[in-house]
Structure 1
Amino acid sequence: MGRVSQAQAQENRKQIVAAAARLFRERGVQAVSVADLMAEIGLTHGGFYRQFASKEALLTEATVQAFADLAASLAEFDLRHPGDHDSARDDLIDYYLSAEHRDDLGEGCPTTGLSADIANEATDGSAREAYADGVRLFARWLSRDGGEDLATLSMLVGALTLARATIGSDLSERILAAAHEALPDTTATPEAPARPGS
């Protein structure tokens, strides 16, 4: 079999990063082997090492990609409410604290989905830096005054983490509802808005 073209190699890399961004959130980095990842997109195990030095190197790119996906979703919430960021923010919170988002690990928020894996990375690692950049971006988007709304972000991430860990009990739904009720200046809707792009 001949060598792939440069364009095909770039496309393969893009597919690997996108699949990793989804699978790492869904299953956790340690639970996803290189073989699993490559099988997911129909490429050979050996092809991985032509693209990445290690799975750890891939984690950094997957983290950047996951937060780029989040930024695109946040922009879509703003597009739904031109000139009214507060309404976009309320819509996002309704979606974030919904059962739909709770159950969608692979496409869900990377702030929650990657936190445990990033916490195990070296403190000076590039994946941790990419994650911190993503957290800053999300906290700025949530802000009503141009700063960083770390309190709201922390409540959202904490509630989603606990709700996911208690799926199967009535506690899971109650956690989402309690967080929504505790957040200032938001009103819960009977049905959460659809995730952008769905």
Structure 2
Amino acid sequence: MGRVSQVQAQENRQRVVATAARMFREQGTGVSVVDVMKAAGLTHGGFYKQFASKDALVGEATARAFAELEGRRTQAVAAHGGQYDAGRQALIDWYLSTGHRDDAADGCAAAGLAVDMAREAGDSAAHRVYVDSVGEFAEWLAGEGEDGLVCLATMVGALLLARATHGSPLSDEILRAAHEAVSESD
């Protein structure tokens, strides 16, 4: 088998990180390297040519997942003519929707990775990225006179509970109640 060009190697690396970001949000960071590589359409043997360890991949995938969330926030504001309040509400509407509840793989990294990050060593790259990114998201959610941490905690908690109770009427009720709670003060 021939050597891969540097450009192709970089494309492969980005594909692995993107695949891992989706799989980790959906299934947790316990997903094996073999499964990530297979889902990315690559062989397991190439993993250690690209990454020092699985922990390095978890760190990069966590950063990627939060970058995707930041992009969603930026798009929400842009879609509303640069109006932060309207973009914030649009993001809240998406966040506390059944569509987001049912699509963990493309969903919020704060919720999708919460359980795994609680078990992660505090000095790991992934944990540092997670903590910093959760803080940034809370700051972004802080509307005028609002507490972004309360809003974020309500949204993430509601999403986790809605996912855990999926298939029951309680799931939709949780999303509705949280939406009312974080939207009332707008």
Output the TM-score relative to the length of structure 2.
0.95
Mean Cα deviation higher: 80-89 or 104-113: 80-89
Please list every run of at least 4 consecutive aligned residues from structure 1 whose deviation after the TM superposition is greater than 4 angstroms: none
Unaligned runs of 5+ in 2: none
Contact kept? 1:118, 1:131, Cα under 8 Å: yes
Match of 1:190 in 2: none
SS at match of 1:2: coil
Match of 1:129 in 2: 128
Contact kept? 1:136, 1:148, Cα under 8 Å: no
- For 1:79, the aligned partner's letter is A
Match of 1:23 in 2: 23
Contact kept? 1:140, 1:147, Cα under 8 Å: no
Contact kept? 1:21, 1:65, Cα under 8 Å: yes
Mean Cα deviation higher: 98-107 or 177-186: 177-186
Distance in 2, matches of 1:138 and 1:102, equals 18
Mean Cα deviation higher: 176-185 or 120-129: 176-185
Task: Write 1 or 2 for the structure with the bigger share of helix.
Answer: 2
- Matching of residue 88 in structure 1 with residue 87 in structure 2: yes
Match of 1:47 in 2: 46
SS at match of 1:168: coil
Match of 1:9 in 2: 9
SS at match of 2:185: coil
Match of 1:172 in 2: 171
1:185 Cα offset (Å): 2.7
User: Identity over aligned residues, as a percent?
Assistant: 55
Q: How does 1:15-164 map to 2 (within 5 A)?
A: 15-30=15-30, 32-145=31-144, 149-164=148-163
Unaligned runs of 5+ in 1: 187-198
Output the TM-score relative to the length of structure 1.
0.89
Residue deviations 1:144-190 (CA, integer Å, cap 9, x gap):
1498611100000000000000001111001001111222335xxxx
Distance in 1, matches of 2:158 and 2:52, equals 36
- For 1:18, the aligned partner's letter is A
Residues matched between the structures, number = 185
